[in-house]
Amino acid sequence: MTRTLVLGGTRSGKSIYAEKLAMASDKEVIYIATAQAGDAEMTARIARHRQQRNHAWITVEEPLALGTVIAKWSRPDRLILVDCLTIWLSNLLFIQEQAFPDVGEIIPPACFSEQRECFLYALKNAVGDVILVSNEIGMGVVPQGAISRWFVDEAGCLNQAVAASCERTVWVAAGLPLLLKG
């Protein structure tokens, strides 16, 4: 069993790289998609991803309960591919508009910590291979707004926790993978 984190920026080639790893495994692939269609552009993006994805794979769409889905589908003869952790994180953090009652005051939804811990537990205890795709977003200018800084901080903490649980971590830039761990 191998857990692999594939990190990179937007349009870096990280998803394509993760999908190539999954295809090379010769295992049954369970593709867990975390995106939700909140507008026309995202609806089109999801449709494009569905069309491009390997049709032999089983696709599970889960925007929130990622740990539960990993635990349910994990088997030694399977590979789970999660795309992507930063979309999942934004789903959790912004699940309720009332999460930000006043400017400058950040109150995460009650389910955030619970879902994060459930996910990290499921990842640690998965009995099959797992590949996780995530954006590395904290390499630029520090965001000006409190909500944006909060999201960048939470994404960085999540990526660190996931990388610590993975045997392999790969950075992808311009479509080129660089092995960071493993």
Residue numbers annotated as active site: 49
Length of the chain: 182
Bond before 157 cis per omega within 30 degrees: no
Q: State which H helix or E strand residue 180 sits in.
A: strand 176-181
Q: In what order do the strands lie in the sheet with 28-33?
A: 58-61, 28-33, 78-83, 129-135, 3-8, 168-173, 176-181
Helix residue ranges, H only, 126-167: 146-165
Beta-carbon contacts of 108 under 8 Å, excluding residues fewer than 6 positions away, are: 93, 99
Q: Nearest to residue 171, comparing CAs of 142, 133, 141, 145?
A: 133
Please state, in angstroms and rounded to a whole number, the distance separating the CA atoms of residues 182 and 179: 7
CB 2 within 8 A of CB 168: yes
41: tokens are 């552009």
